[in-house]
Amino acid sequence: MSESGHVIEAFDTVDLIHIKRDRGVLSTAQINWLVDAFTRGYVGDEQMAAMTMAIFLNGMTRTEIRDLTMAMLHSGERMSFTGLGKPTTDKHSTGGVGDKITLPLMPLVAVFGAAVPQLSGRGLGHTGGTLDKLESIPGWRANLTNDEMFAQLRDVGGVVCAAGSGLAPADGKLYSLRDITGTVEAIPLIASSIMSKKIAEGTGALVLDVKFGSGAFLKDIAKSRELARTMVELGQDAGVATSALLTNMNVPLGLAIGNANEVRESVEVLAGGGPADVVELTVALATEMLAVVGIVDVDVAAALHDGRAMDKWRAVIRAQGGDPDAALPVAKETHTVVADRDGVLVEQQALPFGIGAWRLGAGRARKQDPVQHAAGIDLHAKPGDVVKAGMPLFTLSADEPERFARALEAIEGAWRIGDPGEPVQDGGPLIAERIA
């Protein structure tokens, strides 16, 4: 404090921008000050925008990324579940088209005695949000107090809810800025954003579903691998047992893209059915989430078939005010696209279908926009399937029929029927790698 009563800041913001602009390395003290000063408003948005662009262009060292993560973590509260009497394990997905895995995954893991504190978000753009999907269920509420969350984990074993504003508030400010400055894809900023919130959440273990391909946040598998390794290192450095699966998002996951229709598909999986790819990824992630907390040699798939996972799902939905037996929203209008000839569906690109669902009203362009829970796309065939002329390929659903034209425009050229024997779109295996 100076004689005039003004706080004398430890560093000059422009000096720190110069360091990163010139490919230098910021110290722990500099990063701690920068995050704190930005959170309290001393560092302006325009200055932090310059810093994020310098980071985007020049990267950060592992130590810098760790320091940035911990500074954002310490900008707010940190939850603790040490009094639960059971291990906690969570999952985070980088998002994709038709990715509804959290819905069947959380109750499936909870069946085996682990607590799953799944703090989730809302969709933006072509990637859907878990909270948007669950809000299709009448009565279900996303906002819980910390005490309600703790009690539900203790009594039921799982929870999916919105993260409170007290968790890593610096990340909330920084994320909003990145979204409007073209720096969302910077791996140091992605990794520190995700991991600061997940570590603050208080889970003892974390499994990351890092996607690559057409419908993923990062298209290139090498970039996704780099992000996965960075986040695993951050988790381990913070004492959170962390591993990652690299998973394929070249083709939409499952047959439903939207909100209410993805809930329906998730319930099918919990009932022992559902698309094979959704079941495969759900079982793989559940097995990994249990393994990182030492629960091994259990038949995860069996819990989908014998009703235990469904019972847990119903209990969790009821605990948050939802009615698991209530009818889900149905769109007022539908439009079905049919095959124009016999052949084999050889291509089905994820991203255009995600954009199509977004244009139908299933997603939002701005955080404050509402979503139409009944809007979306239901696929009737996947690459490799034999189709006949006139057979339905996919159905668009929306409350306003004028949305169909723009959605079809987005999907144009994203699917193709070929002749028998023609190579089918090679997306590779669903689960490409495990990183731990």
pLDDT tens sequence across 18-31? 999 999 999 999 99
Quote the radius of gyration of the chain (alpha carbons, Å).
22
Q: In the annotation, is 86 catalytic?
A: no
pLDDT digits 0-9 by tens, 204-241? 999 999 999 988 888 999 999 999 999 999 999 999 99
Helix, coil or strand: residue 89: strand
State the DSSP H helix or E strand holding residue 300, giving kind and residue range, or none if neither.
helix 300-305
Domain count, the chain: 3
- Helices 62-73 and 187-201 cross at an angle (nearest 10°) of 40
> Average pLDDT, stretch 108-134?
85
Q: How far apart are the C-alpha atoms of 57 and 436, rounded to whole Å? A: 27
Q: In the annotation, is 23 catalytic?
A: no
Please state the pTM of the whole predicted model. Answer: 0.92
The residue from 67, 171, 209, 378 that is catalytic is 171
359 or 165, which is more confident:
359
288 C-beta neighbours (distance < 10 Å), count: 23
pLDDT digits 0-9 by tens, 331-386? 999 999 999 999 999 999 999 999 999 999 998 766 667 789 999 999 999 999 99
Q: How far apart are the C-alpha atoms of 209 and 282, rounded to whole Å? A: 11
Q: In the annotation, is 154 catalytic?
A: no
Give the lowest-confidence range in 178-187, 207-216, 408-417: 178-187
Q: In the annotation, is 171 catalytic?
A: yes
The residue from 66, 91, 92, 173 that is catalytic is 92
Residue 123, pLDDT score: 65
* For residue 2, pLDDT beyond 60: no
Q: How far apart are the C-alpha atoms of 164 and 162, rounded to whole Å? A: 6
> Average pLDDT, stretch 299-320?
97
Residue 153, pLDDT score: 96
- Indicate the burial class of 29 (C-beta count within 10 angstroms; 0-12, 13-18, 19 or more): exposed
Which CATH number fits the domain that encloses residue 282? 3.40.1030.10
Does a structural domain hold residue 117? Answer: yes
> Average pLDDT, stretch 190-198?
93
Give the lowest-confidence range in 75-84, 92-101, 293-302, 306-315: 75-84
Q: What is the largest CA-CA distance in the chain?
A: 84
At 1, the pLDDT band (50, 70, 90 cuts) reads very low
Domain that holds residue 347: 333-418
Instruction: Provide the sign of the torsion angle of the four alpha carbons 418, 420, 426, 429, taken in this order.
Output: positive
The residue from 122, 178, 198, 373 that is catalytic is 178
Q: In the annotation, is 18 catalytic?
A: no
At 404, the pLDDT band (50, 70, 90 cuts) reads very high
Q: Of 161, 331, 167, nearest to 261 (Cα)?
A: 331
Which CATH number fits the domain that encloses residue 34? 1.20.970.10
Distances (CA, A) of 74 to 32, 69, 200, 247: 9, 9, 8, 31
Helix, coil or strand: residue 417: strand
Please check whether residues 158 and 280 belong to one and the same domain: yes
Does a structural domain hold residue 186? Answer: yes
353 or 8, which is more confident:
353
Which CATH number fits the domain that encloses residue 350? 3.90.1170.30
Task: Tell me what the pLDDT averaged over the chain comes to.
Answer: 93
Q: How many residues does the chain have?
A: 436
Does a structural domain hold residue 121? Answer: yes
Please check whether residues 157 and 21 belong to one and the same domain: no
Does a structural domain hold residue 320? Answer: yes
Please check whether residues 207 and 258 belong to one and the same domain: yes
Does a structural domain hold residue 406? Answer: yes
Q: How far apart are the C-alpha atoms of 34 and 139, rounded to whole Å? A: 42
The residue from 197, 211, 312, 359 that is catalytic is 197
> ∠353-398-217 over CA atoms, to 5°?
30
Residue 381, pLDDT score: 97
* For residue 5, pLDDT beyond 70: no
Cross-strand bridge partners of residue 395 = 336, 378
Does a structural domain hold residue 70? Answer: no
Residue 366, pLDDT score: 66
